[in-house]
Amino acid sequence: MSVSVTCLRTFGRILVPFTLHRRRRNVYSTILQRYMASKIPTVSYPNKENTPPPEQLELDRWKTTMKSSMQEEGVSTVSNNKDEDAVAATRELIEMWRLLGKEVPEHITEEELKTIMECSSKSSKKKYLKFLYVKEKLKKAKQRKKEMKAVAKEEAKKAKLLETTEEDEQRNFLFLRLWDRNMNIAMGWKGAQAMQFGQPLVFDMAYDNYMNSKEMQNTVSQLLESEGWNRRNVDPFHIHFCNLKVDSAYHRELVKRYGEKWDKLLLTATEKSHVDLFPKDSIIYLTADSPNVMTTFKHDKIYVIGSFVDKNMQPGTSLAKAKRLNLATECLPLDKYLQWEIGTKNLTLDQMMRILLCLKNTGNWEEALKFVPRRKHTGYLEISQHSQELVNRLKKTKSFNSFPKVNAHRKCGLNEKI
Amino acid sequence: MLFCWSGIRSFPKLWKINPYLSLGPGHPSLFLLVDCGIRNQQRWFSLKTMSPQNTKATNLPIAKARYLRKGYGGSKKQVPSDSPHLFAAGAAKKRSQMNNPQSKDHALPPVRNTIQLPTKPLNSEEWDKLKEDFIGKANFEDLVSSRMAQCHSSVDVAKSLLAWVAAKNNGIVGYNLLVKYLHLCVVHKQTSEVIDVYEIMKARYKSLESGGYTLLIRGLIHSDRWKEALLLLEDIKKVMIPSKKNYGDCIEGALLHQDVTTAWNLYQELLGHDLIPMMETLKAFFDFGKDIKDDHYSNKLLDILLYLRSNRLYPGESFAHSIKTWFESIPGKQWKGQFTTIQESGRCSSCGKTIESIHLSPEEYEFLKGKIMRDVIDGGDQYKKTTPGELKRFENFVKSCPPFDIVIDGLNVAKMFPKARESQVLLDVVSQLAKQNLQLLVLGRKHMLTQRSRWRKDEMEKVQKQASCFFADDISEDDPFLLYATLNSGNHCKFITKDLMRDHKACLPDAKTQRLFFKWQQGHQLAIMSRSPGLTFERILRHDTVVQTTGDSWHVPYDEDRVERYSYEVPTKWLCLHRKT
């Protein structure tokens, strides 16, 4: 393979100058003709202050082609409508940005264009365009993969046909291949059990006002994922969607994503608040801002998770909610078990769900905190070995919890690392 | 990889074990070892883009070495000769350098895949050869042209590249290459080339994008066809609001060609879009004003100064010079300008006039008080920073107490000296202030009252005897209470904390209120510098740092070129203008 390539390359090296020369000569002659024929006012080239080198003439020649090609471009139809004008201008702008190699999508729909025009600032426009660009790229890659797969499948099929034409033997099976369906049915049974006897787990849906549409979409994706993890577990929770107002943003998005399955989900969706459904003293609101650290998973408590993706930095929102209703709060003991590196201690909803499921089944923190993203921490703290350090650390965190100035906290983390 | 990190991590230890490293001669091997480690480290990372950790790691030995030299050189204490006030320009930088002398940003030059850029125009064969030698994923033409744009290669070299590309492509050059070429032309001020490219772009493309327009505008304003730059500005407006740079360029172009009306109209339009004009633009008006003897124009310039005042903007050094020259060029008025500083008493060192006081007017004061209560403490959700019960308790407490002279942020003060016991520090400060017969308020959190090794009960009781105290819940924030208690006590009341309160300033809804808050803060915040012997505070400002006039005098604070000013600091240098009578 490599041999052939080098071969080609040397070939090319010989060929290129010839072809180029010839082509250029052609080009120049056509250019000259065009140049004579065109009626554009010729721009006089002022002489450079430095004496023009002999190839100067050649250097400027490309300009004439560039200019003369105007004649071939179609003249744009001028629209009188101002709105339409703006739309067209935006479209052209995006096209020019694409020519410049900026991250903008190739194709754009009318609605997307409208969204862009509604963006208030240039940076928000660019941000949205980049989002569309990445989306388009992913879609294309997926499409390509799909095609490749189809081709491979086709070939495999052909090969198989060639190989096993006559020996189509009959074999004995115990089961028909209906695994997926059986799995679903089994999960449905378990879900029904959980609805009757399972431990409640509440998702608090009272955050619609704190999120923009993108965060809302992310939230619902995470809710879907959490529900999926719960469904597959040996001993699922009985999920409650509390404060879920019909026709709120949450509700619309959930119904859109689940489709007709929404009404058959084995969970409780209610407009009521969790304080109305359960006794107040058994509710524990989970929030990373809580001063209290969760030590063990209690099977008689009702844990509440706020379904809230916060990209706009509104710290303390969920803690404020719990404070208002006078509920107990807890946070995961991330600092106690993990050597935290970067990122917020807010975990995604599905991570929370998996951690809680694991705790519920095993009660082992190390096992459960496997679901914390690996990039956020450098490793587990060895508790037996550094027990002394742990005691000190606990003391420290305790005193710092009551004095949550970020500086102090960060400093403490640094000290320990060295 | 892992090995490498562990090696780096143990560096400080190495140095600590051998504190006499810089003195003792018998450790060449150790140096060698360190050196190897670093080089190794760099090799690891040269494959990737530079990560911040890497720079930290490689800088560490250098920094430590500097630290050691300093430490054993004798003078360890750095006492600033003339201490700037808390909000003086450059003060924060000085403070950070004092606190950790080893931290100094050494920006390593980023590693790029290098192409040797040609220095003179090449012909097609040479370009072909260069392209063949080039290994890399990126598009060769793109990469070369952007490198040229970065390094400001000569126009001719770029032109030869375009000629080569055009020859390959039927005489067509892509838009991106054209824009980069245009950039070079603009940088080298080759106006005729700019016009050529402008013609080409007009011919080939119906409309351009913002980057191309910006470059064209910038290039065209120097030519006779500068009016077309205004048309390009109109084209930008169709899609988005032009940037302040676009406006600035157009204004400069108009001024260059003596079209004052257009320049002012553009300036008005710029302000109308809520853009903050660039200082260069404003400077251009002043520079141009020297040759115009026209009352209307001078009034407009005075309007610019008032604009600077109301937005609390400060001109740069060269702009200050322009202002000075313009004032001095006004015929018949005999303005005299001088660069000066303001004395601590709030008098101008040059003319002796008193600068405006830092204190807010009564209306402003009431306004700010309301805003702090509504936006910082309450903020739409009382539970976020406190609880309604606590708020009520606090309001009753403030009402029942006489106005205070000094409000102390207990936790901030107590934690200031990490080696001393917290309650001890707090008691020291409180008792020293109490001796001066001041009415004190100490704000803190409830956990301060529980007996612990660092919070002694007896000392806290002494504190409570000498000052009124308010303890918030442990999960409430105490700073907002501090702000409100100070504001409620009146204009004479000051507060003690080293916290710069930027997060609370950010809670305020608009820039105007934030500026008001900052002005109040400058006049009322005391920051402790040292505890013994006797409390010393950072200097507090008496005068307001803002452009101001008394009719026959102007005082303009300005930023020096070499001083880095943070956003919460104010300049210390002034331009004093007064009329000779």
Closest partner residue to B166 (CB to CB) among A62, A122, A408 is: A62
Give per-residue pLDDT as tens, A390-411. Answer: 556 665 555 544 444 434 343 3
Query: Would you state the pLDDT for residue B21?
Result: 40
Q: Which whole number is the average pLDDT over A240-262?
A: 93
Chain A: give the shortest CA distance to residue B475, in Å: 7
Between CA A283 and CA A288 the distance in angstroms is 16
| H/E element, B558 | strand B553-558
Tokens 């000013």, residue located: B565
Structure confidence at residue B172 (pLDDT): 82
Q: How many helices (H) and strands (E) does chain A have?
A: 15, 8
Residue with tokens 């997307």: A112
Beta strand pairing call for A338-340 and A377-380 = antiparallel
How far is the C-alpha of A190 from the C-alpha of A183, rounded, in Å?
11
A122, closest residue in chain B (CA to CA): B240
Q: Per-residue pLDDT tens for A169-218?
A: 678 888 888 899 999 999 999 999 999 999 999 999 999 999 988 899 99
Q: Give the per-residue pLDDT at B115.
A: 67
Inspect the interface and report whether the beta carbons of B203 and A100 lie closer than 8 Å.
no
> Which domains are present in chain B?
124-292 (1.25.40), 293-358+541-580 (no CATH), 362-537 (3.40.50.11980)
- Best mutation target among B236, B237, B475 (most A Cβ atoms within 10 Å) is B475
From chain B, pick out residues whose CB is under 8 angstroms from the CB of A55: 121, 123, 160
ipTM confidence:
0.74
Selecting from A45, A59, A99 the residue whose C-beta is nearest the C-beta of B163 gives A59
Which of B240, B273, B382 to substitute to test the interface with A, most A CBs within 10 Å? B240
- State the Cα–Cα distance between residues B472 and B393, nearest whole angstrom: 10
Decide if A303 contacts A345 (C-beta within 8 A).
Answer: no
Contact criterion met (CB < 8 Å) for B239 and A89: yes
Omega cis (within 30) before B277: no
> Which of A23, A53, A323 lies closest to B383 in CB terms?
A323
Percent above pLDDT 90 for chain A: 52
Give the separation between CA B509 and CA B371, rounded to whole angstroms. 9
Which residues of chain B make contact with A86, given a CB cutoff of 8 A?
Answer: 238-239
A279 touches chain B (CB under 8 A): no
Distance, CA of A416 to chain centre: 33
Q: Does A375 touch chain B (CB under 8 A)?
A: no
Residue B144: the pLDDT is: 87
Query: What pLDDT, on a 0 to 100 scale, did the predictor assign at position B206?
Result: 84
Beta carbons within 10 angstroms of residue B138's beta carbon: 11
- Provide DSSP, A243-280: T--TTSHHHHHHHHHHGGGGGG-SSEE-SS-HHHHS-G
- Tell me the pTM: 0.74
Residue A187 at interface with chain B, using a CB cutoff of 8 Å: no
What whole-number distance in Å separates Cα of residue B167 and Cα of residue B124? 8
Give A198-332+344-371's CATH code, choosing from 3.30.310.220, 2.40.180.10, 3.40.1280.30, 3.30.420.40: 3.40.1280.30
* Pairing of β B528-530 and β A200-204: unpaired
Which positions in chain A touch B205 (Cβ < 8 Å)?
96
* Crossing angle (nearest 10°) for helices A82-99 and A110-118: 100
Q: Report the candidate in B558, B109, B75 with the shortest Cα–Cα distance to residue B337.
A: B558
Q: What confidence score (pLDDT) does residue A10 get?
A: 46
What lies within 8 Å, CB to CB, of A61 at 6+ separation is: A28, A31, B163, B166
Residue A283 pairs with which residues in a beta bridge?
Answer: A302
Q: Which residues of chain A from 66 to 105 reach within 8 Å of chain B, CB to CB?
A: 66-70, 73, 76, 85-86, 89-90, 92-93, 96-97, 99-101
- Closest chain B residue to A55, measured at CA: B123
What is the C-alpha separation between B64 and B319, in angstroms, rounded?
41
CA-wise closest residue to B414 among B379, B463, B372: B463
Whether residue A15 lies within 8 A of chain B, CB to CB, comes out as no
Of the two residues A37 and A114, the one the predictor is more confident about is A114
From B138, B134, B146, select the one nearest B176 (Cα to Cα): B146
Q: Is B187 helix (H, G, I), strand (E, B) or coil?
A: helix
Closest A-chain CA to B129: A13
A383 in contact with B, Cβ within 8 Å: no
Cβ-based neighbour number of residue A175 at 10 Å:
7
A57-109 pLDDT tens trace? 466 667 776 666 554 444 444 445 666 778 888 888 898 999 888 899 999 99
B212 and A96: CB-CB below 8 Å? yes
Q: Which amino acid is at B414?
A: A
Contact B493, B540 (CB under 8 A): no
A72 to each of A96, A121, A262, B205, B331, how far by Cα in Å? Answer: 19, 36, 57, 12, 60
**So what's the pLDDT on residue B410?**
92
Q: Of B203, B204, B211, which has the smallest distance from its Cβ to A100's Cβ?
A: B211
- The set of long-range contacts for B145-152, using a CB threshold of 8 Å and a minimum separation of 24, is B145/B176, B145/B177, B145/B180, B145/B181, B146/B180, B147/B115, B147/B117, B148/B117, B148/B180, B148/B184, B149/B180, B149/B183, B149/B184, B151/B117, B152/B184, B152/B187, B152/B188
Residue A3 has pLDDT above 90, yes or no: no
Q: How many helices (H) and strands (E) does chain B have?
A: 26, 11
Q: From CA B61, how far away is CA A163, in angstroms rounded?
A: 68
Model confidence over A331-346: pLDDT tens digits? 999 999 999 999 889 9
What are the residue boundaries of the structural domains of chain A, listed by start?
112-163, 198-332+344-371
CB atoms A58 and B159 under 8 Å: no
pLDDT in tens, A276-301: 999 999 999 999 999 999 999 999 99
Chain A residues in contact with B168 (beta carbon < 8 A): 20
Please provide the distance, in angstroms rounded to a whole number, between the alpha carbons at the two ends of chain B.
75
Q: What pLDDT score was predicted for residue B534?
A: 73
Contacts of residue B81, Cβ cutoff 8 Å, sequence gap at least 6: none
pLDDT average per 10 residues of sequence, chain B (581 residues): 44 42 41 40 40 43 40 38 73 78 54 68 84 80 86 87 86 87 91 90 86 92 92 90 94 93 95 93 94 89 94 94 93 90 90 91 93 87 90 92 92 89 91 91 92 89 93 90 92 92 89 92 89 77 91 93 88 91 70
Q: Report the C-alpha gap between B186 and A189 in whole angstroms.
A: 73
**Site from A403, A409, A415 to mutate, B interface, most B CB atoms within 10 angstroms:** A403
Q: Hey, is A104 helix, strand or coil?
A: coil
CA A272 to each of CA A192, A239, A275, B382: distance values in angstroms, whole numbers, following the listed order: 21, 14, 8, 23
Q: Is A27 on the interface with B (CB under 8 A)?
A: yes
C-alpha distances (whole Å) from A320 to each of A76, A169, A201, B380 are: 58, 69, 20, 11
Q: Where are the alpha helices (DSSP H) in A119-178?
A: 122-163
**DSSP for B8-67, written as a single string:** HHTHHHHHHH-TTTTT-SS-HHHHHHHHHHHHHHHHHHHTS---HHHHHHHHHHHHHHHH
- pLDDT of A398 reads 52
What is the phi/psi pair of residue A380, to 5°? -85, 150
